[in-house]
């Protein structure tokens, strides 16, 4: 193990004050592959101070959108120029297939940075015509210091949904990546500096969550916004901490996506997307279609095709180009996911534990409606399949979850597609597709899946302080 990765604070890559480090472990080899600085409250203090100074005194919030946008585009260029190194970092940290990291995570990170830079530059603000001899208009001013706390499942990509709009609107950022996927954040911060983004604008702080670097960020009164993606219970803890300073929080939390396949669906389309919906990233996706509901007349045919497709997925070394399913991200996570297989409630048609930290694509039928496997977020490659008869029954089943992040509908009936989409309690409904993200559209969840929305103007609302300016014309 040779590589070392530090915090990036005030434009410098540095160790923790006491020199503490932690190992990041490759879940395929189960061996440490790099050492990372282990921060706590003292390093969080330094990172927030750096971001605060860069916001209060530095050029970044005072630059025009065009100048900031040019630097962000240069940053995106450098991310693409370093695609292989960045992709491999996420693969080694958390086991995602390198083909996915190269084909999706890294390019989408660059695309997110470009989109939010352009969106901020091209956004209009409002004017409000009055009958009273006044001119009223809105301004969107940067909120200040943003703490961005991220999970490990799509490390760079999810981080960029936070830091890209925050930076584009003129904020400064302290990013705390997940302790299971720290390396790509340091690599990105190095590239941000190389792109010419001023020191202190984009800081990276490594460490754990509770009673550590993460919680220190959420308790700091110098932080103006907290944007968090992760588990629902962590969201509760962060919100409680933020409440003491009345710091606004945006939360993208867990999910238990319902996937409804009607008898009038194109079954080939439904099988293809349903496979991607649950087995992409070994099921470690907040949006995973982990509850499949299939209308009874097509149940047998669907299941036969679905199980065959699940068994055909290539499970193996995530560093091999052809691998579709890698290991789970860590030993701890593997223990959690496989606990659902100890008592699956229903019958396991295919899948189960694999070698090492692998879980094979697993399909379970006849699980009880109130069983843990059916109700809880597993965050692994395990799907339950349940038959239904009527549209009302399908909608009620889909909505019978405390989560409400997303749902999928497969039908060739246009009226049904619109009707069911309207009735589903979910932040995103995909019909005859999955995982298509338009960055202008709202993204977020109902219920335990979160607070607020990300995307386009929704990100602007969160990362700015909208201001009203009212002027009297000729004395008003």
| Shortest Å, Cβ 379 to ligand NAD | 5
One residue of 450, 452, 455, 456 binding ligand NAD per CB under 6 A: 450
Which of 9/394 has CB closer to ligand NAD?
A: 9
Query: Which listed range, 111-119, 150-158, 360-368, 433-441, lies at the site for ligand NAD (CB under 6 A)?
Result: 150-158
Q: How far apart are CA 437 and CA 162, in angstroms?
A: 15
Kindly state whether residue 175 participates in binding ligand NAD, applying the rule CB under 6 A.
no
One residue of 78, 178, 294, 325 binding ligand NAD per CB under 6 A: 178
254, with CB counted inside 10 A (0-12, 13-18, 19+), is: buried
| Cβ atoms of residues 79 and 106 within 8 Å | yes
Kindly state whether residue 158 participates in binding ligand NAD, applying the rule CB under 6 A.
yes
One residue of 83, 118, 136, 208 binding ligand NAD per CB under 6 A: 208
One residue of 405, 409, 424, 426 binding ligand NAD per CB under 6 A: 405
Kindly state whether residue 237 participates in binding ligand NAD, applying the rule CB under 6 A.
yes
Which of 328/349 has CB closer to ligand NAD?
A: 328
Which x/- pattern, by CB under 6 A, does the window 78-117 give for ligand NAD?
----------------------------------------
Query: Which listed range, 29-37, 196-204, 234-242, 263-271, lies at the site for ligand NAD (CB under 6 A)?
Result: 234-242
Query: Which listed range, 37-45, 111-119, 143-151, 189-197, lies at the site for ligand NAD (CB under 6 A)?
Result: 143-151
Which x/- pattern, by CB under 6 A, does the window 285-304 give for ligand NAD?
-x------------------
Please tell me the number of Cα atoms within 13 Å of 249 on its side-chain side. 25
Kindly state whether residue 230 participates in binding ligand NAD, applying the rule CB under 6 A.
yes
Kindly state whether residue 49 participates in binding ligand NAD, applying the rule CB under 6 A.
no
Given the residues 159, 179, 286, 454, the one annotated as active site: 286
Q: Which residues pair with 136 in a beta bridge?
A: 128, 470
User: Which 357-376 residues touch ligand NAD, going by CB under 6 A?
Assistant: none
One residue of 78, 238, 294, 357 binding ligand NAD per CB under 6 A: 238
Task: Tell me whether residue 377 is one of the annotated catalytic residues.
Answer: no
Kindly state whether residue 231 participates in binding ligand NAD, applying the rule CB under 6 A.
yes
Torsion of CA 170, 174, 175, 179, to 10 degrees: 180
Q: How far apart are CA 77 and CA 184, in angstroms?
A: 16
One residue of 90, 159, 252, 448 binding ligand NAD per CB under 6 A: 252
Other Cβ atoms closer than 10 A to 453: 19
One residue of 209, 283, 381, 455 binding ligand NAD per CB under 6 A: 209
Radius of gyration of the chain (CA): 23
Write the secondary structure of 216-232 as one string of H (helix), E (strand) and C (coil). HHHHCCCCCEEEEECCH
| Cβ atoms of residues 384 and 393 within 8 Å | no
User: Which 321-350 residues touch ligand NAD, going by CB under 6 A?
Assistant: none
Kindly state whether residue 404 participates in binding ligand NAD, applying the rule CB under 6 A.
no
Task: Tell me whether residue 286 is one of the annotated catalytic residues.
Answer: yes
Kindly state whether residue 151 participates in binding ligand NAD, applying the rule CB under 6 A.
yes
Which of 158/394 has CB closer to ligand NAD?
A: 158
Q: Which residue is nearest to ligand NAD (CB)?
A: 209
Given the residues 43, 159, 179, 252, the one annotated as active site: 252
One residue of 54, 76, 189, 253 binding ligand NAD per CB under 6 A: 253
CA nearest 435: which of 325, 315, 274? 274
Question: Residues in the site for ligand NAD, rule: CB under 6 A?
Answer: 149-153, 158, 176, 178-179, 208-210, 214-215, 218, 229-231, 234, 237-238, 252-255, 286, 377, 379, 405, 445, 449-450
Q: Tell me the catalytic residues.
A: 252, 286
């Amino acid at each position: 193990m040779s590589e070392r990765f530090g915090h990036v604070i005030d434009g410098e890559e540095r160790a923790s004050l006491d020199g503490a480090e932690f190992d990041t472990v490759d879940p395929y080899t189960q061996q440490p592959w790099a050492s990372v600085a282990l921060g706590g409250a003292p390093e969080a203090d330094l990172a927030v101070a750096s971001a605060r100074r860069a916001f209060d005194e530095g050029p970044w919030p005072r630059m025009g959108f065009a100048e900031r946008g040019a630097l962000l585009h240069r940053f995106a260029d450098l991310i693409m120029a370093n695609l292989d190194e960045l992709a491999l970092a996420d693969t080694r940290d958390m086991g995602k297939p390198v083909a996915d990291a190269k084909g999706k995570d890294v390019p989408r990170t660059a695309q997110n940075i470009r989109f939010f830079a352009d969106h901020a530059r091209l956004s209009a603000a409002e004017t409000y015509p009055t009958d009273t001899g006044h001119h009223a208009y809105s301004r969107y001013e940067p909120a200040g210091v943003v703490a961005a706390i991220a999970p490990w499942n799509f490390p760079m990509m999810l981080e960029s949904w936070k830091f890209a709009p925050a930076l584009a609107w003129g904020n400064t950022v302290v990013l705390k990546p997940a302790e299971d996927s720290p390396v790509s954040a340091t690599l990105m911060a190095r590239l941000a500096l190389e792109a010419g983004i001023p020191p202190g604008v984009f800081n990276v702080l490594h460490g754990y969550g509770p009673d550590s670097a993460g919680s220190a960020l959420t308790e700091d009164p110098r932080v103006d916004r907290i944007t968090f993606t992760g588990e629902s219970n962590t969201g509760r803890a962060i919100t409680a901490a933020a409440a003491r300073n009345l710091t606004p929080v945006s939360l993208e939390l867990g999910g238990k996506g319902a996937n409804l396949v009607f008898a009038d669906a194109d079954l080939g389309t439904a099988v293809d997307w349903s496979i991607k919906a649950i087995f992409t990233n070994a099921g470690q996706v907040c949006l995973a279609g982990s509850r499949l509901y299939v209308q009874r007349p097509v149940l047998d045919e669907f299941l036969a095709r679905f199980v065959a497709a699940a068994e055909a997925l290539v499970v193996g070394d995530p560093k091999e180009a052809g691998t579709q399913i890698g290991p789970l991200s860590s030993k701890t996570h593997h223990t959690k996911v496989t606990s659902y297989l100890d008592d699956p409630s229903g019958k396991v048609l295919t899948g189960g534990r694999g070698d090492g930290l692998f879980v094979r694509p697993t399909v379970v039928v006849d699980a009880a409606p109130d069983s843990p496997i059916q109700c809880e977020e597993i965050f692994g490659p395990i799907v339950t399949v349940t038959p239904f008869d009527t549209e009302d029954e399908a909608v009620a089943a889909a909505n019978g979850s405390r989560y409400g992040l997303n749902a999928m509908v497969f039908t060739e009936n246009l009226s049904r597609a619109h009707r069911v989409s309207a009735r589903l309690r979910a932040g995103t409904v995909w019909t005859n597709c999955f995982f298509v993200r338009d960055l202008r559209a709202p993204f977020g969840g109902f219920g335990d899946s979160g607070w607020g929305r990300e995307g386009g103007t929704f990100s602007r609302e969160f990362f700015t302080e909208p201001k009203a300016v009212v002027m009297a014309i000729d004395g008003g």
